[in-house]
Structure 1
């Protein structure tokens, strides 16, 4: 399938949010709280590109819970249409966007032009967010350790709480998106 066909197959972001069960409240919190910077020159440039975005995501993903609402706020300012595909139901496309050539990490934002050609890709994390995650993971015991599962679950809870409340990370996501998009 072409990216244009994937976009047409994808659901609206409204439908995706309506169907959410795991992180709906957290996603909506970020969406309702995030204050997009005043960036009129950038917004104007993006409006003239007439872009659309395919988002590979899943409801259970904490990174998507934080990144998707920031993308949605940017899309509102720039007239970019956002459509959602569930990663696990669309592995044919997901496997074309593996992180480090091996991981099905999400979210992935695929920006396409009017004819359906990819012009940019973003995801799954901004660099500063990746550094934060790497630092948390470095504190985990070995996977074979008895306490690994408990400590891993604690780390996930810490990530979720941080993702839904840390405005500095939200701004890093916005800046990373902007840095990707100003090059097109």
Structure 2
């Protein structure tokens, strides 16, 4: 039997519970949460969005680089929109995760499922903004072939550069904010 989105929401952790449970990327997530900023136009949109009385179910994991900056940004959007988010760990909730596969095959996270008061899905966002994906592609293009002896080291280096950029650069955060607003309209 497929669980309702309301049931998944009730099963989730609060943002504070999620953050306290983190063993990886907590500092990065907290930094973004504390420093992300919104324009007056953003705040007006969020105030209007509050009228929808939506909530959100978030599939995530603390090891995920994308979650380290998308989760705190969208948590702050939720706070400004009076929209409670509940967090579920991807690998502990595969029944739900498998309903939101990226390209029909990948369990990519984070995934944000926005629901109305009745628990009906209204919007889905994730796992990353298109412009963030384009930035990652520019980094990945320099990787050697997968069978090269230094592939793993170079891959680790690239993902380190990616994580550093997305968890410290407000321009990258702006990309996420704009992508989420576009999706929520």
Output the TM-score relative to the length of structure 2: 0.96
Structure 1 residue 50: Cα displacement: 0.2
Equivalent residues in 2 for 1:100-139 (5 A)?
Answer: 100-139=103-142
Alignment-derived partner of residue 10 in structure 1: 12
Secondary structure of the equivalent of 1:83?
Answer: strand
Question: Whole-Å Cα distance in 2 between the matches of residues 164 and 23 of structure 1?
Answer: 10
Secondary structure of the equivalent of 1:144?
Answer: coil
Structure 1 residue 44: Cα displacement: 2.4
Structure 1 residue 55: Cα displacement: 0.5
Alignment-derived partner of residue 48 in structure 2: 45
1:147 to 2:129 alignment = no
1:105-163 alpha-carbon deviations (Å, 9 max, x no partner): 10000000000000000000111001011111111111111010000110111011111
Output the TM-score relative to the length of structure 1: 0.97
Secondary structure of the equivalent of 2:69?
Answer: helix
Instruction: State whether residues 36 and 73 of structure 1, in contact with CA within 8 Å, keep that contact through their aligned partners in structure 2.
Output: no
Count of residue pairs the alignment pairs up: 182
Alignment-derived partner of residue 21 in structure 2: 19
Question: Whole-Å Cα distance in 2 between the matches of residues 58 and 64 of structure 1?
Answer: 7
Moved over 3 A (4+): none
1:97 to 2:100 alignment = yes
Question: Whole-Å Cα distance in 2 between the matches of residues 154 and 120 of structure 1?
Answer: 34
Question: Whole-Å Cα distance in 2 between the matches of residues 38 and 67 of structure 1?
Answer: 20
